[in-house]
Amino acid sequence: MNAPNDSEVLRVVIIGGGLAGLCVAQGLSRAGIAFDLYERDESADVHDQGYRIGINTDGARALYDCLPENLFNLVVATSTVPLAGRVVLLDNELHEQVSRPLPTPVSEVRSLPGIASRLPFAAVNRQTLREILMHKVRGRVHFGKTFTRFEHERDCIRAYFSDGTAAEGDVLVGADGTRSAVRRGLLPDAKVVTLGHAIYGKTPITHDALGWMPDSLISGFSRVHLGDQVALGAGAFRKRHEFESAAAKYAPGIQLTPTPDYLMWTLRGPHVDKSLYRKTPRELCAAAASLLKGAHQSLRRIVNQAETDATFLVELRRAEAVTSWSSLSITLVGDAIHTMSPGRGEGANIALRDAALLCRKLVDAMHAGKAHEPAMSEYQTEMLAYGFEAVARSRRSPFFKGIGH
């Protein structure tokens, strides 16, 4: 995406600084379009943002389109060593029951040049990706700003925040996640259903752990069925390169939080529900350990050696399909519109795809000297089609039955 001639024509207000919102910011910044991003958190590191996100071709392509080359290369350099490319179902004794290749990427696969072709089906650490996406746009990111509502003015959209301030733009982008306040204002009847809950944890992959952690858990993406409706999913985050050397090579000056390699695990089972919301991370770890009583000793050890403070409860949610909306100055990206079950690991990838598509439509309109409304309409139509197809796919054909709903 190249900079248009008149860079100040369009002003974009982005609500939410997760992956989708920051990727929009990068794409607009690269094209020279003016934007401000408003995030409710007080700072970028207010809580642990460091979980593992599998990146498929959609996500890789979107990052490639939106980021300057050095930052894209830094994403690749800080991603995991590629997985074995298989999803494996294991029984209680960790014997392989079923294994199959990771599914074919969901959208048209256009070959990505050079290093990018090696990214699909690797994984990134969300906090690291977020830190990279924040680089060079941080000056336009306003923390501690909780969006509450918008109003259509005669020639702009005004966004209001809980601290009494407001921001104006020609375009408002809701990138505020699964409980989106922008969606509530735009589509008050849109429904999001809760599918269940899971305990999420991380266990450091130390030199010692490599000696006892089952290889099947760290080399691919696995799910262990433990009976009594207890199931554990696992995947490793093992860096290709040390962050410090990668940062020095591709973006000197960027601060990346040091992140030891880890095995992420999710645990579902009886009583893993909203009653656990009040539990501390230590109590969640204890609840996970009690679900694994009687399980293979390696699994118990994984939970016993987890980084306690990094344990949290995840609510799994799914949006019901939305057909369209009429305002062409307000739009939604990512979980704000099509939150989905993690059954195929597509939520973040589709969120990044939205960001890239929206930026491309807006930039093309600017270059053609056209108004933004038709571009927003095209974005809306395309995004709703592939976004809700991904929601349906996450239910219809998850990696394993029982994850999607």
Ligand X SMILES: Cc1cc2nc3c(=O)[nH]c(=O)nc-3n(C[C@H](O)[C@H](O)[C@H](O)COP(=O)(O)OP(=O)(O)OC[C@H]3O[C@@H](n4cnc5c(N)ncnc54)[C@H](O)[C@@H]3O)c2cc1C
Q: Which is nearer to ligand X, 264 or 376 (CB)?
A: 264
Residue closer to ligand X, measured from CB, 1 or 22? 22
Restricted to residues 244-273, the positions that interact with ligand X (CB under 6 A) are none
Tokens 């009594």: give the residue.
Answer: 228
Stretch 296-315: interaction string toward ligand X, x if CB under 6 A: ------------------x-
Is residue 189 within 8 Å of residue 29, measured between CB atoms? no
In the complex, the smallest distance separating the C-beta of residue 164 from ligand X, rounded to whole angstroms, is 14
For the CB of residue 125, give the shortest distance to ligand X in the complex, in Å: 11
Does residue 16 touch ligand X according to CB under 6 A? yes
Which of the 8 DSSP states describes residue 343?
A: G
Cβ 199 vs Cβ 276: under 8 Å: yes
Token digits of residue 108: 């048209």
> Least distance to ligand X from the beta carbon of 342, Å?
5
Q: Which residues pair with 397 in a beta bridge?
A: none
Piece in contact with ligand X (CB under 6 A), picked from 4-12, 173-181, 276-284, 323-331 = 173-181
Q: Cβ distance 172 to 330 under 8 Å?
A: yes
Dist CA 29 CA 136 (whole Å)? 9
Q: How far apart are CA 244 and CA 253, in angstroms?
A: 10
Q: Which of residues 318-377 bind ligand X (CB under 6 A)?
A: 334-336, 342, 345-349, 351
Distance CA 209, CA 39 (A): 37
Q: How many residues sit in the footprint of ligand X (CB under 6 A)?
A: 33
d(CA 317, CA 193): 6
**200 sits near ligand X (criterion: CB under 6 A):** yes
Residue nearest to ligand X (CB): 18
Which residues make Cβ contacts (< 8 Å) with residue 233, sequence separation at least 6? 221, 222, 223, 224, 265, 266, 267, 403
Interface with ligand X, residue 17, by CB under 6 A:
yes
Report how far residue 308's alpha carbon sits from residue 306's, in angstroms, rounded to the nearest whole number. 6
CB distance 50 to 194 below 8 Å = no
Specify the residue, 344 or 366, whose C-beta has the smaller distance to ligand X.
344
CB of 316 to ligand X, least distance (A): 8
Position 19 contacts ligand X (CB under 6 A) = yes
Site for ligand X in 25-84 (CB under 6 A): 38-41, 51, 53-54
Give me the residues that bind ligand X (CB under 6 A), please.
15-21, 38-41, 51, 53-54, 145-147, 175-177, 181, 200, 314, 334-336, 342, 345-349, 351
